[in-house]
Amino acid sequence: MKVFDTWERVLVCLILLVYLVFGFQIPGFVSPFAIADSTYNFTEKGLVALAMTLLIIAGEIDLSVAATMALCSLAMGLAMQAGAGLWPMLLAAVVTGLLCGLLNGWLVTRWKLPSIVVTIGTLSLYRGLAQVTLGDQAITGYPETLVNWGNGTVGDVLGWPDFIVPLEVLVLLVLALATGLVLHRTVHGRRIYAIGSNAVAARFSGIAVDQYRMALFVFAGLMAAVAAILLTGRIGSTRPNLAMGWELDVITMVILGGVSISGGKGTLLGTMLAAVLTGVFTFALGMLNVSGIVMTMIMGVLLILSMVLPGWIQRWQQRAGKAAKANKASA
């Protein structure tokens, strides 16, 4: 069937199926307000998934993104407690994210260490710094402007109260479009795919492999900072467990979106569709009062299926194609 020709079309069908199934079970699930609320389940994670997509396509991975978010939020909180205004607070978060990404990239490119090992280490480092600094405390009292960014809608900005699209969705769409253009429409994107397919061949063809890897890790730190700013504004506080476990959710979105874990394949559109799918699905489970641990188990199952299903569908398509050719030949 042509509707299943691409993995992106499969994801669209799955999203529609989720709305169809849960729409009958949960009153108001397909209402505009419920749909708007469901976006908070994937917007901040989607921002981090943008950078993770590029990293995995390039054959790398960053498991420290959620811990980086906690550290960026902590930097904002400490800056606020020191008397800084809104923009210096935001600058503190961005600089912290860039430095975290820079450290990851330096360890990978300078010392030739596997990114999975490096980022497991920095995950513990960044999360540990946040937990040691805060203990069991939380930083609250953020400026109203920041809270409005995390919870406001586009309609609030434009003066259209009925336009309830969250500002976070707009931020995600703009950054996804910009990242997608770079990945799929520029020479830099083609080089990222080449690095993921064969880094040695890419280096011999004149591509500055280490510089691209470094840039991708720094970009991951930047996206973690942006996500941390929005999440901190939305919940109105900095906590040591902020975004705990999100690295699993982000990687699930990327792999479920059709990006090959071995690198060199995948699209940003697939990642964004997978982000919507997982976000809407977990939102529905939340409305059904499913516990957090069960949701974590389901995300683990989705991660496994996301690595198995694309290959299965590809083999099914190849068999269907061979059968069609055989039928034509016999006719």
Helix (H) or strand (E) holding 292: helix 292-330
Per the rule left: phi > 0, alpha: psi between -120 and 50, beta: everything else, 253 is alpha
Q: Say how far apart CA 132 and CA 109 lie, in whole Å.
A: 29
Structural domain boundaries in the chain: 44-284
Q: What 8-state DSSP symbol labels residue 153?
A: B
pLDDT values of the chain reduced to their tens digit, one per residue, 331 residues: 555 668 899 899 999 999 999 999 999 999 999 999 999 999 999 999 999 999 999 999 999 999 999 999 999 999 999 999 999 999 999 999 999 999 999 999 999 999 999 999 999 999 999 999 999 999 999 999 999 999 999 999 888 888 999 999 999 999 999 999 999 999 999 999 999 999 999 999 999 999 999 999 999 999 999 999 999 999 999 999 999 999 999 999 999 999 999 999 999 999 999 999 999 999 999 999 999 889 888 888 888 888 887 778 777 777 877 887 888 777 6
Q: What is the model's pTM?
A: 0.94
Contact assessment for residue 142 and residue 236, using Cβ atoms and an 8 Å cutoff: yes
Q: Say how far apart CA 81 and CA 71 lie, in whole Å.
A: 15
